[in-house]
Structure 1
Amino acid sequence: MRIQFENKVAIVTGGSFGIGRATAIMFAQRGAKVSIVDWVEDTETLNAIRSAGGEALFIKCDVSKDADVKKMVEQTVSTFGRLDYAFNNAGIEGASAPTHEVTEENFDKVIGVNLKGVWLCMKYEIPYMLRQGKGSIVNCSSIAGIIGFPNIPIYTASKHAVIGITKTAALEYAQLGIRVNAVCPGVIQTPMIDRFIEKNNTTKEAMASGEPIGRFGEPEEIAEAALWLCSDASSFTTGHALVVDGGWVVR
């Protein structure tokens, strides 16, 4: 049975592209009102939802900035009247470099978006969910939150930390009606992967062949996992890091 979200409200950060776009559109297709949050003003996600008859709002937000996140959550609730779900997905890969060559600027930027951004979103989402007595949050980690990857040490550290903060929040709110989980995508066909492999077909083919399932994942496959974690179908699941990776981490 397909999970439905009529009369519910969802926030999706990093909603302009890739996994975020797919998740925002899927929430809307299944009845939710959606706040599409990104620091890039791209209207494709918003237009896709509205043209299909869904309700959505675009909010420009830098998730690493407290004032931006506070305003974003307040605007969502003032527009739609409530907040049921949040997919805290915004993330950046940063510059590739071995650990001893990482710059302080790159460290601060990646940690600011990938970890501080997740924390700030939860900081302002949770109070509204507490007032309702119910809510579900999914934070986007990565298989880089489960295993190590060379030359992206700060990205890897940030995604490990997302799992840690997810587990902690899950324990804090387990008896207060709020579930907090993480999803850990593998190699997914998104603009981030295009940047990472620099559109090199040889590298792309090598990475795809490294997937036990034999291909890259699609953004919609992560969206399905995120929606399941948000839904009552996963009502006994909290503090979990759900790996959706075609078998990468069990090779």
Structure 2
Amino acid sequence: MNDYSNRVVIVTGAGSGMGRAMVHEFTSRNARVAAIDVNFERANETVAGLADPSRARAYRADVSDPASVQRAVDDIVAHFERIDLLCNNAGVLDGHAPAHETSIEEWNRVIAINLTGPFLMAKAVIPQMLKQEKGAIINTSSTSGFSAAGGGTAYTASKHGVIGLTRQLCFEYGAKGIRVNTICPGATATPLAMSSSPDMEAAIRSFPAQRWCRPEEIARLAAFLGGDDADFVHGSDYVMDGGWLTAARDPF
């Protein structure tokens, strides 16, 4: 079990779902955690709900806004004095609309949060990691990073882009001590996902695991990828989907 004593972890989208589960997981492993969310109250609720709230600190940041991201990262470095792991977990769904029905406003919103957000967060933390000569980044993609049908045009494009971003960052920074990997969840029991489509329950019955993934399971995978046990893991895309992709059929 990876121990995170004396390590600082940033989690975006920390106000609910997988992000909240990650904050709980990392603090349980003795990490100090910066819990970022666009909704400060939700981030603060996450911190307040910890067994030891002193291990984490809530921050408000809009990951799609360069100035907001940089302010948050500067504050985190000033307070914690280092950054060991960034978990780019913040994300949104689209309306499952086909391309000709997707507005440019919806396209820009989804790409800004799901793809530009991880880029901006990585851009802001990498200088600190380079000073330390070590760090790790975990980007959250999706099974929609490999196939269609899990979302609409904007969501699917954004999650494919996250995988490409991970691979390029790995290429650029792996030899400088920064590991970058991707987690690709399938149907995960978060408030956002469970309300996204009336067809989800039927879809879940069609793949091997036949259940929702629990956010805590994703958090444990993140804790493995971010720690020393995964020191040789670079540029990989870890699918945790209960066999969704293996089933090789469109569940919708």
TM-score above 0.5: yes
Deviation at 1:52, TM superposition (A): 2.7
Gaps of 5+ in 1: none
Instruction: Work out the CA distance in 2 between the residues paired with 1:248 and 1:113.
Output: 25
Corresponding residue of 1:68: 68
Instruction: Work out the CA distance in 1 between the residues paired with 2:121 and 2:127.
Output: 11
Residues 95-114 of structure 1: pairs in structure 2 closer than 5 A: 95-114=95-114
Supply the AA of the counterpart residue of 2:45.
Answer: E
| Native 8 Å contact 2:144 2:150 kept in 1 | no
Deviation at 1:174, TM superposition (A): 1.2
Residues 209-224 of structure 1: pairs in structure 2 closer than 5 A: 209-224=205-220
Corresponding residue of 1:44: 45
Instruction: Work out the CA distance in 2 between the residues paired with 1:182 and 1:54.
Output: 29
- Alpha carbons of 1:91 and 1:59: their partners in 2 closer, same or farther (altered >3 Å)? same
Corresponding residue of 2:250: none
Supply the AA of the counterpart residue of 1:44.
Answer: E
Structure 1, residues 173-199: CA drift from partner, whole Å, max 9, x if none? 1110000000000100001112202xx
Supply the AA of the counterpart residue of 1:37.
Answer: I
Structure 1, residues 58-109: CA drift from partner, whole Å, max 9, x if none? 1111100000100111111111111000100100002231111000000000
Instruction: Work out the CA distance in 2 between the residues paired with 1:38 and 1:53.
Output: 16
Gaps of 5+ in 2: 248-252
SS in 2 for 1:248: coil
- Alpha carbons of 1:53 and 1:119: their partners in 2 closer, same or farther (altered >3 Å)? closer
Instruction: Work out the CA distance in 2 between the residues paired with 1:70 and 1:178.
Output: 19
Identity of matched residues, %: 40
- Alpha carbons of 1:88 and 1:178: their partners in 2 closer, same or farther (altered >3 Å)? same
RMSD: 1.2
Supply the AA of the counterpart residue of 2:47.
Answer: L
Q: Which region of structure 1 is more displaced relative to structure 2, 27-36 or 37-46?
A: 37-46
From 228, 243, 252, the counterpart of 1:247: 243
| Native 8 Å contact 2:64 2:116 kept in 1 | yes
Instruction: Work out the CA distance in 2 between the residues paired with 1:173 and 1:204.
Output: 38
Q: Which region of structure 1 is more displaced relative to structure 2, 177-186 or 205-214?
A: 205-214
Corresponding residue of 2:3: 4
Deviation at 1:151, TM superposition (A): 5.5
Corresponding residue of 1:31: 30
| Native 8 Å contact 1:99 1:151 kept in 2 | no
Q: Indicate yes or no: 2:10 matched with 1:18.
A: no
- Alpha carbons of 1:53 and 1:65: their partners in 2 closer, same or farther (altered >3 Å)? closer
Instruction: Work out the CA distance in 2 between the residues paired with 1:48 and 1:54.
Output: 11
What's the TM-score, normalizing by structure 1? Answer: 0.94
Deviation at 1:116, TM superposition (A): 0.4
Q: How many pairs were matched up?
A: 245
Instruction: Work out the CA distance in 2 between the residues paired with 1:148 and 1:159.
Output: 10
Structure 1, residues 114-167: CA drift from partner, whole Å, max 9, x if none? 000010000001100000000010000000001111661110000000000100
Corresponding residue of 1:79: 79
Deviation at 1:210, TM superposition (A): 2.1
Shift >6 Å, 4+ stretches: none
